[in-house]
A and B are shown apart, each in its own frame.
Chain A
Amino acid sequence: MSHIHLKDVSKKFGDTEVIPPLNLEIKDGEFVVFVGPSGCGKSTLLRLIAGLEDVSSGRILINGEDATEVSPAKRKLAMVFQSYALYPHMTVRKNIAFPLRMAGLSSTEQGKKVEDAAKVLNLSEYLDRKPGQLSGGQRQRVAIGRAIVREPQAFLFDEPLSNLDAALRVGMRVEISELHKRLATTMIYVTHDQIEAMTMADKIVVLQNGRIEQVGTPLDLYRSPLNVFVAGFIGSPKMNIIEGPQASKYKSASIGIRPEHIAISDSTGTWKGTIGVSEQLGSDTFFHVKCEFQDQSITVRAIGGLELAYGQTVFLTPEKEHLHRFDKDGLRIK
């Protein structure tokens, strides 16, 4: 239903350029995730698309039409805020109906759509409560309900799950993904949690200091990060980055190897090191191995239950086919 195109969009607050000119295309029905460290401009970019902030330069096209000057109320986009931003003086029913009321729907139509949305989101029992009487997860659902009733061109989410506890977060993550499958509406989702990004996205946009570092599917980003920043940001635990003579051996300024792509042995291997902290997760074990060529320890993923004593000497062998090579500017060497 909608296709969003940012053309040379930039944003300045006063004299500081938070987002240098960037281009981005979001296709109809795509689930796009913006990730990046705190302060990199994710929210700002989302708010530019929403129309809550003016662009300093560039154009925003929605379905091919120039929406740069269109007010947020008229862009037909729905937004779910980090704080949920529910109307505290209205009941859940009124909250969800609000966009419909603004669109001038009759109250019977409003009622029907609200009931439908409530059923989908398991909110039917709570329709006559005020937001203050709901749990965090329920509030989150109300915010989503308010977004879906009006059948927007696209959904914008700004870290919608960051105020929820870990268990709830996983559940809501799945619910939002299902919602996307069912509605097949474009969704733009901001998070700084790379697991959310990996699990939900059709397309991930990695941002740093307002610049787009890489755009691609989760697996693209995992398999062939374009630079050291993306390599370090995507994947958990982080990719190990090794510099110096060990990297030179591979004719690169630095090399990267993910913890899951290193074999650990007590007798032979490429790198010698000693076991530091080990983290037993049950399914996996993570070892932090201290090697003499590197101050930072190297993280290694091994099968669950493997026990190696602190200080024990081990040997690590990186899998050649999963080794990432970067030049002195941190860019990937093909």
Chain B
Amino acid sequence: MSTQQSRSAAKVMLAPAVVLLMAWMLVPLSMTLYFSFKKYLPLRGGDLGWVGFDNYTRFVSSSSFWPAIGTTLLIVGGVLFITVTLGILFSLLLNQPFWGQGIVRIMFIAPFFVMPTVSGLVWKNMFMDPVNGFFAHLSRAFGSEPIQWLSQESILSLTIILSWQWLPFATLILLTAIQSLDSEQIEAAEMDGARLLGRFWFIIIPHLARAITIVILIQTIFLLAIFAEIFVTTAGAFGTKTLTYLIFQRVLESQNVGLGSAGGVYAIILANIIAIFLMRIVGKNLSD
């Protein structure tokens, strides 16, 4: 089908979505770009004129920039490592026959549905609190000193919280991918005498490669943008300031909009670099 009529109808029907998204993207983006070239302090004088690339250089040369990059990399890298490794193991496990599959699966994916503020606060108070937290009680039961999780092991703590939240995502996607693996293929390999480990490395992992890539890319995009978990736990203290959080503080807390906007532009560029890889994969899928 495509008659002139249906083609013009299609244009009209597509227009609202395209126009809205275009506005949603272009208007704030151009404003961010605009502010990033200004000295703009809403509470301390407002618009203080054009400053060229000043904000960009100041943002990267500020003392908090490199620590924020380090924190971001540590957290994103740590969470990716944990969720992908455990995700592969868990998905292999969940693909085996066992009793109560339905219930166990729900238990595995449940954390993904917990809103970020809840998971942040529950972990912070009920588990990682050095006095009343579950872990503190456990430590004391074993006669050791409770760990000051969120102040002394802050990055590890956040990595644990975020991994708990994102593990279900990785597991679920990898499980779906495993289920599409031809069981005949595995049986054929078994007939060929491939041992368990051989099957894992030469059949399952290559089959999962695409899904793993997708998990990594999507999680990276979301993890770079995490906010609420830090906001309710450490509020950026104890070295947990990520790039996103740093920008947030510059913009809303210290109301240095020009500087924050320059940071925002960096974040956008960073996200786009990752997005390009993701779009390649998704786009390839679209054409077949």
Residue numbers of A with Cβ under 8 A of B are 51-54, 71-72
Residue numbers of B with Cβ under 8 A of A are 1-5
Beyond known contacts A53-B3, A54-B2, A72-B3: 4 more, CB 8 A cutoff: A51-B3, A52-B1, A52-B3, A71-B3
Q: Within 8 Å CB of B5, what residues of A?
A: 71
Query: In whole angstroms, what is the CA distance A54 to B1 when docked?
Result: 9
Residue of B nearest to A70 (CB): B5
Q: Within 8 Å CB of B1, what residues of A?
A: 52-53
Instruction: Tell me the dominant secondary structure on chain A's binding face.
Output: loop
12 A/B residue pairs, CB under 8 Å, sorted by A: A51-B3, A52-B1, A52-B3, A53-B1, A53-B2, A53-B3, A54-B2, A54-B3, A54-B4, A71-B3, A71-B5, A72-B3
Q: Within 8 Å CB of A72, what residues of B?
A: 3
Q: Within 8 Å CB of B4, what residues of A?
A: 54
Chain B: minimal CB distance from A10 (Å): 15
Q: Within 8 Å CB of A52, what residues of B?
A: 1, 3
Chain B: minimal CB distance from A197 (Å): 27
Chain A: minimal CB distance from B6 (Å): 9
Residue of B nearest to A47 (CB): B1
Query: In whole angstroms, what is the CA distance A71 to B8 when docked?
Result: 13
Q: Within 8 Å CB of B3, what residues of A?
A: 51-54, 71-72
Chain B: minimal CB distance from A83 (Å): 14
Query: In whole angstroms, what is the CA distance A72 to B3 when docked?
Result: 10
Query: In whole angstroms, what is the CA distance A54 to B8 when docked?
Result: 13
Rank and list the top 5 A-B pairs by shortest CB-CB distance, nearest first.
Answer: A54-B3, A54-B4, A52-B1, A71-B5, A53-B3
Chain B: minimal CB distance from A272 (Å): 57
Query: In whole angstroms, what is the CA distance A54 to B6 when docked?
Result: 10
Chain A: minimal CB distance from B14 (Å): 19
Query: In whole angstroms, what is the CA distance A29 to B99 when docked?
Result: 67
Residue of A nearest to B9 (CB): A71
Residue of B nearest to A55 (CB): B3
Query: In whole angstroms, what is the CA distance A52 to B1 when docked?
Result: 6
Chain B: minimal CB distance from A205 (Å): 23
Q: Within 8 Å CB of A51, what residues of B?
A: 3
Query: In whole angstroms, what is the CA distance A71 to B5 when docked?
Result: 8
Q: Within 8 Å CB of B2, what residues of A?
A: 53-54
Query: In whole angstroms, what is the CA distance A176 to B12 when docked?
Result: 41
Q: Within 8 Å CB of A53, what residues of B?
A: 1-3
Chain A: minimal CB distance from B12 (Å): 15
Residue of A nearest to B4 (CB): A54
Residue of B nearest to A52 (CB): B1
Chain B: minimal CB distance from A82 (Å): 15
Query: In whole angstroms, what is the CA distance A264 to B2 when docked?
Result: 55
Query: In whole angstroms, what is the CA distance A54 to B7 when docked?
Result: 11
Chain B: minimal CB distance from A161 (Å): 23
